A = this chain, B = another copy of it.
Amino acid sequence: MPSAIVSQSGGPTGVINASVVGVIEEVGKHSEIDNLYGSIHAVEGIVKEDFVDLKKLSVNVLEGLAASPSAALGSSRDKPDAEYCEKILSIFKKRDIRYFFYIGGNDSANTCYIINNMADEAGYELRAFHIPKTVDNDLLVTDHCPGYGTAAKFVACALMGDDLDNRALPGIKIDVIMGRHAGFLTAASVLAKQRRDDGPHLVYVPERPVSMDKFCSDVEGVYKKLGRCLVAVSEGICDTDGVVWAQKTKAQEEKDAHGNIQLSGSGSLADFLSAQAKAKVGIKRVRADTFGYLQRSFAGLQSPVDASEARNCGRQAVAYAITGKSGSVAIKRISSGKDYAVELFRTELANVAEKTKSMPDEFINADDNGITEAFVEYAMPLVGPLPKTHYLGNYPRV
């Protein structure tokens, strides 16, 4: 009897386990699938045959798993070349694995695509399905990515509290948020705004280069007007020459398997921006925080919509694969605002593999330092209900 395998790849998210649970649930409905393997550490686990049996998990464990952050099967940053993919295929053949479910970003979609093609050429019947996942929300075709809504909720709740903190003890506060090429997660900072003068007052995304002069002059302008300034900055913001600022701080020299410099897991960009603002604007109380890994793996803070969609994407991938198809699951928004609703559809692996999406122009303001209402309409349904906050400092005086 044919078996199936599911793996989790790339950076963890708050709902990537919900997608695994979706796969487990749907596979459980199909007695024609013998084993359901979970590979430990993604492709690394496949080539080592480091597998757990996912058919034996109780309903209680499944519900707990679906709510649990990070990748419960472990992940990997390996980017398999042709030889690596051949090795994966040989393991699939050895174990009679005919269904491959790979939860990840555009690189994972590409790995799926390569292995699917190899299987085709070898005449080995395989259904390879990519299940989308990324906090960056940068995949093509799909309206948005599972994992984004939960990370965006973290960012919104963080900025909400941080804005009140900045009101309580005014000064300049800079928050550095994940996002190498796409500003979606940093843009989510504006979901925190409840009052007219709430921060973030300035938002910088990788899609819009910014000079240090403009950055400091923007900050100074807000500070002069409000007596404080809260800034949200993508880790991937770049100078007008296209070089990312994080690289110009020279503190970051480590590169990953994809040749990218390390952006997360360091406070150097935040500290650099903080020093610039302090020196050029001449304001003493300047603070900077880097949200780091908390924004993708915080426990107990899922967006319910995101968790549900991630689970459905896992289920749907299995349902498509059973009908003999390979591909990637994508989300189509069929209704917006309060009536927000989606449907899932299948797209070809080639449409998602290796490519990334940036923020559309209509989400970024004309001054390149803020986010529009169009973005709020896009993102708010993905995040779900947010806490309401109170501030008494703008009440009438007695």
* A contacts, CB < 8 Å to B: 8, 11-12, 14, 17, 35, 37-38, 40-41, 50-54, 61, 64-65, 67-77, 157-158, 160-162, 164-165, 167-169, 173, 192, 251, 254, 264-268, 270-271, 274, 284, 286-294, 296-301, 386-393, 395-398
User: In the complex, A34 Cα to B331 Cα: how many Å?
Assistant: 59
Q: Are B12 and A72 in contact (CB under 8 A)?
A: no
Q: Are B40 and A393 in contact (CB under 8 A)?
A: yes
Q: A169-B77, A289-B290, A298-B161 are in contact. Are A397 and B51 (CB under 8 A)?
A: yes
Least Cβ–Cβ distance between A325 and chain B, in angstroms: 27
Interchain CB contact (< 8 A) of A293 among B173, B294, B299: B173
User: In the complex, A17 Cα to B288 Cα: how many Å?
Assistant: 24
User: In the complex, A74 Cα to B168 Cα: how many Å?
Assistant: 4
- CB neighbours (8 Å) of A287 from chain B are 264-266, 292-293
Closest to A275 in B: B251
Number of copies: 2
Q: Are B71 and A168 in contact (CB under 8 A)?
A: yes
User: In the complex, A192 Cα to B267 Cα: how many Å?
Assistant: 24
Interchain CB contact (< 8 A) of A75 among B54, B69, B169, B192: B169
- CB neighbours (8 Å) of A157 from chain B are 298-301
User: In the complex, A300 Cα to B65 Cα: how many Å?
Assistant: 23
Least Cβ–Cβ distance between A311 and chain B, in angstroms: 14
User: In the complex, A7 Cα to B67 Cα: how many Å?
Assistant: 40
Q: Are B70 and A164 in contact (CB under 8 A)?
A: yes
User: In the complex, A160 Cα to B397 Cα: how many Å?
Assistant: 44
- CB neighbours (8 Å) of A160 from chain B are 69, 299-300
Q: Are A297 and B265 in contact (CB under 8 A)?
A: no
Least Cβ–Cβ distance between A185 and chain B, in angstroms: 15
- CB neighbours (8 Å) of A391 from chain B are 68, 72
Least Cβ–Cβ distance between A155 and chain B, in angstroms: 10
User: In the complex, A290 Cα to B289 Cα: how many Å?
Assistant: 7
Interchain CB contact (< 8 A) of A52 among B8, B51, B65, B396: B396
User: In the complex, A398 Cα to B301 Cα: how many Å?
Assistant: 33
- CB neighbours (8 Å) of A73 from chain B are 392-393
Q: Are A289 and B265 in contact (CB under 8 A)?
A: yes
- CB neighbours (8 Å) of A173 from chain B are 265, 293
User: In the complex, A395 Cα to B73 Cα: how many Å?
Assistant: 10
Give me 24 A-to-B residue pairs in the complex whose CB atoms sit less than 8 angstroms apart, sorted by A's number.
Answer: A11-B169, A12-B165, A35-B398, A51-B397, A52-B393, A52-B396, A53-B396, A64-B388, A68-B388, A69-B160, A70-B165, A71-B164, A73-B392, A73-B393, A158-B294, A161-B293, A164-B299, A265-B274, A267-B267, A287-B293, A289-B290, A290-B290, A294-B294, A300-B386
Most buried by B among A61, A274, A294: A294
Q: Are B274 and A162 in contact (CB under 8 A)?
A: no
User: In the complex, A53 Cα to B397 Cα: how many Å?
Assistant: 7
Q: A17-B390, A388-B64, A390-B65 are in contact. Are A167 and B70 (CB under 8 A)?
A: yes
- CB neighbours (8 Å) of A37 from chain B are 398
Interchain CB contact (< 8 A) of A72 among B51, B158, B392: B392
